[in-house]
Amino acid sequence: MGFFDEFGTPSDIKPNKKLDTKEMLTNGIRDQLALLNGEEVLNNKGETIRSWFRDGRFMPTVGIFGLFDGKALSFKKGGEKAMLEKFQKAFESGEFDKFVKAVDIKREENTAKLLEARKKIGTTSKKLK
């Protein structure tokens, strides 16, 4: 049996559907609740994710962006789960929509920068040939 018989023929790889900001935040809340329940939660690289509760500060993130633009809320030790559950309810009710929209814009800007950088790399590599 040949290689292509076993693994198929080469084809275009279609990227996975990109999650929107609200979906990412929903998944983040789920993961943070799991962390608070003592479960090990891994990222796509197989590394343990960071808690949003660190050093007396609550800093929710969406991908690489902080939801509150680098700002944090303080919390009392032992109150993490209750705070996260209230955070989830507030998010679901739309209380954070302006913050989600701001992260949407940052994500779009970041994607545009990455695409532009890839174009430059492609142009450079063509010149080298």
> Distance between CA 16 and CA 8 in Å, rounded?
20
Instruction: Please say whether the beta carbons of 67 and 60 come within 8 A.
Output: yes
In a domain, 86, yes or no: yes
73 three-state secondary structure: strand
Name the band, by pLDDT with cuts 50, 70 and 90, for residue 44. Answer: confident
- Give how many domains the chain has, as a whole number: 1
Which residues span the domain enclosing 27? 18-99+106-120
Residue 123 has pLDDT above 90, yes or no: no
Name the band, by pLDDT with cuts 50, 70 and 90, for residue 31. Answer: very high
The two structure tokens encoding residue 111: 């994607």
What are the pLDDT digits (tens) for 49-76?
Answer: 999 999 999 999 999 999 999 899 999 9
Instruction: Give pTM, 2 decimals.
Output: 0.76
